[in-house]
Amino acid sequence: MSDVLVVSEHRRGELRDVSYEAITAGRELADARDGDLHVAVVGGDVDRFAEDLNRQGVDAVHAVSNGEEFDHNVYQSAVGALLEGTGAEAVVIPNSVNGLDYAPAVAEAHGYPLVTDAIGFEYDDGLTVTREMYGSKVETTVDVTGDQFVLTVRGGEWAPAEGVGDATVEPVEVDHPESGARVTGFEEVGGGDVDIADADVLVSVGRGIEEEENLELVEDLADALGATLSASRPIVDNGWLPKNRQVGQSGKVVTPDVYIAIGISGAVQHVAGMKGSDTIVAVNTDPNAPIFDIADYGIVGDLFDVVPELIDEFA
Amino acid sequence: MKVLVTVKEVAEPDDDFAVEGTDIAASDLEYDLNEWDDYAVEAAVQLAEAGIADEVVAVTIGPERAEETVRMALAKGADRAVRVWDEAFEAGFADVAAKVTAFEAVVETEDPDLVLGGVQAADTGFGATGVALAERIGFEHAAVVNDLEVDDDAGVAHVHRELEGGVEELTDVDLPAVLTVQTGLNEPRYASLRGIRQAQRKEIDAKDLSALGLSVEDVESSLAITSMYEPESESDAEIIEGDAGETASRLAEVLREKGVGA
């Protein structure tokens, strides 16, 4: 028997959804290991958070009252104290920007193997994790030696834990080193004249457009269709379009009636931002591009051939 | 100050590829400098150009083939490079701790004030080495940095961390530190012809484990890849067949049905 510790995530007063998904993953692990499920919440309004995290299957919620927002030093110290206090030897952490700011340090500090970005797992004699490689083109199974580990889980892969549990809520305060990384504030980015989240029809452009000069082509298409222009990350990284046009995990989440992906391969971070669209159309040269997995209509072809023809259709 | 940049040569599969055993067939892979590391190299070179960094050293874990990629970092302005490789790494799938052990040994020799690396490698996508390294060597750290200003006198890096959903966290990180760099931090330069020529004369110091004072047991991996496969397509897309004109015409019909362009 061996317990499992799930560390929840919150930001600016709200628990993030992946916290409940991590609880589901943690419960599966705890069942396989015949152990209890501990859930930690660190900082902020821990009493309110602890109440929300008390879902079916949770045996104990540890409300660590240090600090307000995310601080990796506090999280590391809290996890260390809870591993010692609970005897848990498996840690589940959301595979988020903040999760990846402390999970590797936790694994390193405790000498635990680390597997990140899990999309599934099996637990028999030991842990076998399913995760992607090569930009989502393949999946792999990874065997972990031993029964101690840190696992980070991708958002949206497990159903969120529901119901109300009968967990004990334990207030905790931990000692932690003075932080050498101090959060001084937050900034919203991507504001400006256009809100792509309001658009009914989006023409969205990706790496396949190749050159900044070629953007005119998709601008013309957007004009012809009466659509708004959006983009995947590389276009914004290159400075070809402003941040407020970016669809995806670090940009905007959009749910238009029609989303037309032009030269977008459909990396998981992009798909997270547009999979809720009613109708998805994709034009891409690569028939194996993951965008076709979520598309309703696909054209396997060169955007430089197809898009001019499509503009003509609406001219 | 001295800046160490971790770089990785990553493999990218061709559009058509076959899986052989637990990896993609070598003939279906092409190699390049990891995109995220390209931004880290650029950040380091900019620190040198601003007079903040005295020396930029690139470090990689990779076989001899990776020297071509390391030369790209040198051509873009890194002063010299260290390449770690050993038969021990060829045997299996190195876990994060094994990589950190190799980098730790290089850090001990080089004694940098700042370590920069990409958020993740495009092929394995673990996104963990930088933060684990910071823990091992006792440096501060920040993951997923998309804005960086180094105040050498104050011993602080002012960074933005790119959180999900268009929110950035503003953080002051004490030096020495490890920062993992997100794409979009800067505009990575192309290597100039002059840079490429100069890179030929720059040193790439190849070290095996024993040269680092390490043994095979020190880099033993806790992970093993046991299978690799192409995920089953969940696609129920209608793939529109035909030449460009035919496909555009059918797509136009679909879009009009949805009320687009009306």
Domain boundaries, position B15: 2-219
pLDDT tens-digit profile of A36-50? Answer: 999 999 999 999 999
Q: Is the Cβ pair A181, B174 closer than 8 Å? A: yes
User: Residues A232, A207: contact at Cβ < 8 Å?
Assistant: yes
> What confidence tier does B15 reach under pLDDT thresholds 50, 70, 90?
confident
Q: What pLDDT, in 10s, does the model give residues A140-167?
A: 999 999 999 999 999 999 999 999 999 9
CATH code of the domain containing B101 = 3.40.50.620
ipTM, two decimals: 0.94
Can you give the pLDDT at residue B232? 81
- The CATH superfamily holding the domain A196-314 is TPP-binding domain (3.40.50.1220)
What value does the mean pLDDT take over residues A57-66? 97
Closest CA in chain B for residue A148: B222
Chain B residues touching A74 at Cβ < 8 A: none
Domain contains B137: yes
CA angle A53, A58, A62 (to 5 degrees): 60
Residue B253 lies in a domain: no
Max distance between CA atoms of chain A, in angstroms, equals: 69
Between A189 and B147, residue with greater pLDDT: B147
Q: Is the minimum CB–CB distance between B163 and chain A shorter than 8 Å?
A: yes
Query: pLDDT at residue B234 above 80?
Result: no
Homologous superfamily of domain range A4-172: HUPs (3.40.50.620)
Contact residues on chain B for A226, CB-CB shorter than 8 A? 260-261
Q: CA B182, B185, B188 angle in degrees (round to 5)? A: 105
| B144 inside domain | yes
- Asked if residue B261 has pLDDT above 90, the reply is no
pLDDT digits (tens, 9 = 90+) for B160-199: 999 998 899 999 999 999 999 999 999 999 999 999 999 9
Percent of chain B residues past pLDDT 90, beyond the cut? 94
Read off the pLDDT band of B231 (50, 70, 90): confident
| Number of domains observed in the structure of chain B | 1
A189 band by pLDDT with thresholds 50, 70 and 90 = confident
In a domain, B115, yes or no: yes
* Average pLDDT score over chain A: 95
Residue A192 confidence (pLDDT) above 80: no
Please report, as a single letter, which amino acid is at residue B38.
D
pTM, two decimals, is: 0.93
Contacts of A314 in chain B (CB under 8 A): 252, 261
Residue B193 near chain A (CB below 8 Å): no
Per-residue model confidence (pLDDT) at position A193: 76
In the predicted model, is pLDDT for residue A264 greater than 90?
yes
Top residue of A309, A311, A312 to mutate, by most chain B CBs within 10 Å, is: A309
SS3 state at B74: helix
Report yes or no: B137 and B130 within 8 Å, Cβ to Cβ.
Answer: no
Length of chain B: 262
- State whether residue B184 sits within 8 Å of chain A by CB: yes
Question: What residues of B are in contact with residue A188 (Cβ under 8 Å)?
Answer: 166-167
Give me the pLDDT at residue B39, please.
98
- Per-residue pLDDT at B235: 79
